[in-house]
Structure 1
Amino acid sequence: MEFRVVVCVFSLLLLLGFSQAEQVKFIDCGSSVGHVIEVDINPCPSQPCQLHKGQSYAVNVTFSSGTDSQTSKAVVHGVIAGVPVPFAIPNDDGCKSGIQCPIHKQKSYSYVTQLPVKAEYPPIRLVVEWELRDESSKDLFCIKFPVQIVS
């Protein structure tokens, strides 16, 4: 009986956590050796996602690989007035962000990382361009999605 209660409580907490994640509308910007299945940002109750200065957001990109690769590296830009500006993330190694490397062709993966929003960022609307590159610098995925940085 006690095990069932623990399972029910765990399931409820899991559902509450997913209820704040919003499947993000994105544009594929050149996933040359992969295919994006889904993009989630948590918390993001509405779109464009409002990113509060000084907070961090969980990003989960589910994709399937069209190639084998020993490594993967994330590259993130904020596109402001058509100009890509590098956006720092805590760890650019995709193999340390939820992906078990080596990456195998025809297999699906969930790239999971944090997107920190620095307090010094100005309040602005922009487009985030997020790439995950294989060992040959080809895009396993390349996505763009709009966000708004707020105080």
Structure 2
Amino acid sequence: MKVQLLALAVGATLVIGAASLHVKTIPCKGDHVEAASVNFIDISPCTENPCALKRGSTYELTISLETGPEPAEIPKLTTHVDAIIHGIPIPWPGFNYTDACKDCGLSCPLSPNKAYSYAIPLNVISPIAIETVVKLRIEDDTTNVNLLCNELQVKVV
């Protein structure tokens, strides 16, 4: 009985682990000041890098981050999600969750030196299959400083 429960627990862990993946990210190019550090970014369900996003599907993008010592509090945040097409940022089609405090599970104001988890649905409504860079930026509305800015590669299939 104990062996069966252990096998069931291991199997469930493998299935759950295969459903999401810490995607490879890089800090945004250019002069982007950041007030937080990213622990990881997951896309669920996703099993490979770059993540293959099926058109007509919705994925959950989860960000684990830690705020730095400055600013003292962050009262309001805006999320920007862009696809970078031939070097030009284009707003991600169908992304309507721009208020990070209201729409994404962050409890604002954010405090300094604290860990947070942030989740947003990512609808894939692109009419074409394309491999692109997604630029994810969360901006402090009061200072116009980026809380974070990361880029990740995806394939829309």
Q: Please indicate the TM-score interval, normalised by the length of the shorter structure.
A: 0.7 to 0.9
Give the superposition deviation at 1:11. Answer: 9.9
Which of 66, 75, 78 is the aligned partner of 1:73?
78
| Residues 127/14 of structure 1: CA separation in 2 closer, same or farther (3 Å cut) | same
Give the superposition deviation at 1:134. Answer: 1.2
Map 1:94-109 → 2, pairs under 5 A? 94-96=100-102, 97-109=104-116
Give the superposition deviation at 1:35. Answer: 0.8
Which 4+ stretches in 1 moved above 2 angstroms? 9-19
What amino acid is the match of 2:59? Y
1:59 aligns with 2:58: no
Which sections of structure 2, spanning at least 5 residues, go unmatched?
A: none
Q: Indicate the SS of the match to 2:133.
A: strand
Worse overlay, 106-115 or 9-18: 9-18
Alpha-carbon distance in structure 1 between the residues aligned to 2:148 and 2:14: 28
Counterpart position of 1:46: 48
What amino acid is the match of 1:86? P
Alpha-carbon distance in structure 2 between the residues aligned to 1:17 and 1:143: 25
Cα deviation digits, residues 24-82 of structure 1 (max 9, x gap)? 11001135211111110001100110010000110001111123211111011100111
Query: In 1, are the aligned partners of 2:18 and 2:46 still within 8 Å (CA)?
Result: no
Give the superposition deviation at 1:16. Answer: 3.6
Alpha-carbon distance in structure 2 between the residues aligned to 1:137 and 1:12: 46
Q: Indicate the SS of the match to 1:62.
A: strand
Map 1:83-98 → 2, pairs under 5 A? 83-87=88-92, 88-96=94-102, 97-98=104-105
Q: With structure 1 as the length reference, what TM-score do the two structures score? A: 0.85
Counterpart position of 1:19: 18
Worse overlay, 61-70 or 14-23: 14-23
Alpha-carbon distance in structure 2 between the residues aligned to 1:14 and 1:46: 17
Alpha-carbon distance in structure 2 between the residues aligned to 1:12 and 1:137: 46
Alpha-carbon distance in structure 1 between the residues aligned to 2:11 and 2:108: 32
Number of residues of Structure 1 aligned to a counterpart in Structure 2: 142
Query: In 1, are the aligned partners of 2:38 and 2:64 still within 8 Å (CA)?
Result: yes
Give the superposition deviation at 1:18. Answer: 4.0
Q: With structure 2 as the length reference, what TM-score do the two structures score? A: 0.82
